[in-house]
Amino acid sequence: MKEGINIYVRLSGYSNQTIGEVRLQAWDRHERIKRGLKTLGTFWGLALVAILIPGLHFVLVPTLLIAGPFAAWRTSQQHSIILGGQGTCPDCSAPFQIAQASAHWPLTDLCSQCSRTIKIEPISANSTVETDSKTEAQGK
Ligand SMILES: [Zn+2]
């Protein structure tokens, strides 16, 4: 799961703009269902292990069994994610690490050097819009 595509992003500060790069991971319908089932398996697997923990199993087992389907549903609804990236802070020119986040453009992040908010948006919108429309067309 180290794939993803590189896309260029524009980092906008108060006065300047710089170019950076992020890795975007997108999942089609089939992959989303698979990820959801994997999450469900993890939660229910942990519930099985929790049976062995004295005392705590009264709370952990039902919690994990109930939370599993919710977490699986949430995971299956996630179309794409920003795995991370880097650029240069437009305000103080320090190297800037873009943290992992869900792909809701524009992203905002804080520079660790100058503590200013940086707006991050894709430069070529084609590559990101394409992945969303493709999944709709597949249907049944
Ligand atoms: Zn900065």
132 alpha carbon to ligand 1 midpoint, in Å? 32
Alpha-carbon torsion (30, 36, 42, 44), positive or negative: negative
Closest CA to 33 of 1, 80, 73, 2: 73
26 alpha carbon to ligand 1 midpoint, in Å? 29
83 alpha carbon to ligand 1 midpoint, in Å? 21
20 alpha carbon to ligand 1 midpoint, in Å? 14
Reported as a single tens digit per residue, the pLDDT across 11-54 is 999 889 999 999 999 999 999 999 999 999 999 999 999 999 99
Q: What is the mean pLDDT of residues 87-105?
A: 90
19 alpha carbon to ligand 1 midpoint, in Å? 14
Residue 136's pLDDT band (cuts 50, 70, 90):
very low
Instruction: Report CA-CA distances (Å) from 1 to 10, 61, 81, 105, 123.
Output: 26, 29, 12, 22, 25
pLDDT, position 137: 41
State pTM to two decimals.
Answer: 0.64
pLDDT, position 3: 75
88 alpha carbon to ligand 1 midpoint, in Å? 8
Alpha-carbon torsion (129, 138, 5, 103), positive or negative: positive
pLDDT, position 129: 40
80 alpha carbon to ligand 1 midpoint, in Å? 27
2 alpha carbon to ligand 1 midpoint, in Å? 28
Closest CA to 118 of 6, 4, 22, 1: 22
Q: What is the mean pLDDT of residues 106-118?
A: 90
